[in-house]
């Protein structure tokens, strides 16, 4: 088994890992406060670890209760992630009856500052998800903001002119003309204190 944890597993990772090891990568989602929250089955769905943690979705935010800690219980803790839970009656072809976590959509509390308006960093998730779903364009990305109204998009891959236009058009859907953007391709993504972040803000208000 090859397991990916701590960081988001991008679509493009699967083919590279299978090429290197002959196996696909399996995702899991967890936190220090809760242990493993969800894990991927053979059908590709993320099932909740219902034996170890209770998961609630309140206004799109995950709330967790740890069922295993005895000396220091964690009860209805706001973990700081936006999520999407599948309907309770959704069944998986793998046969497990554990509830399904559809998506971990982003972190709470990270803002993007335009020239005039403020936006949630969750927009980046949807920009690249839309490109993947609609155009089958899977990109590993990182966005950096050093000053208000300006964003730098960094991509690990090289993309052609058509793909560049698709990306720019999708960005404009969310930020209109309120932010100036620059896009750099075929670059190494940065780590902060040894941990990868899809959005890095250096804006001082």
pLDDT digits (tens, 9 = 90+) for 79-136: 888 889 999 999 999 999 999 999 887 666 678 999 999 998 888 988 998 998 899 9
Res 27 pLDDT > 90: no
Asked whether 64 and 52 are in contact (CB, 8 A), the reply is no
Burial of 16 (0-12, 13-18, 19+ CB in 10 A): exposed
- What local confidence, expressed as pLDDT, does residue 112 receive? 94
Query: Mean pLDDT across the chain, nearest whole number?
Result: 89
Question: What is the C-alpha to C-alpha distance for residues 74 and 50, in angstroms, rounded to an integer?
Answer: 15
How many CB atoms lie under 10 A from the CB of residue 204? 7
Q: Which residues pair with 139 in a beta bridge?
A: none
pLDDT for 46 equals: 93
Stronger pLDDT, 129 or 193, i.e. the higher one: 129
The overall pTM is greater than 0.75? no
pLDDT band at 194 (very low <50, low <70, confident <90, very high): low
pLDDT at 120: 85
pLDDT digits (tens, 9 = 90+) for 63-81: 999 998 888 889 999 988 8
């Amino acid at each position: 088994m090859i397991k990916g944890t701590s960081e988001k597993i991008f679509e493009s990772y699967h083919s590279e890992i299978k090429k290197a090891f002959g196996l696909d990568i399996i995702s899991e989602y967890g936190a220090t406060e809760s242990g493993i929250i969800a894990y991927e089955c053979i059908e590709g769905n993320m099932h909740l670890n219902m034996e170890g943690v209770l998961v609630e979705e309140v206004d799109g935010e995950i709330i967790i209760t740890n069922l295993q800690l005895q000396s220091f219980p964690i009860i209805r803790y706001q973990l700081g992630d936006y999520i999407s839970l599948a309907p309770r009656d959704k069944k998986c072809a793998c046969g497990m009856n554990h509830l399904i976590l559809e998506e971990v959509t982003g972190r709470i509390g990270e803002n993007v500052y335009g020239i005039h308006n403020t936006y949630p960093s969750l927009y980046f998730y949807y920009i690249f998800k839309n490109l993947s779903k609609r155009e089958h364009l899977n990109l590993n990305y990182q966005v950096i903001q050093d000053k208000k109204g300006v964003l730098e998009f960094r991509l690990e891959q090289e993309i052609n002119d058509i793909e560049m236009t698709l990306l720019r058009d999708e960005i404009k859907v969310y930020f209109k003309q309120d932010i100036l953007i620059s896009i750099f391709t075929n670059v190494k993504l940065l780590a902060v204190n040894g941990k990868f972040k899809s959005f890095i803000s250096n804006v001082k208000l």
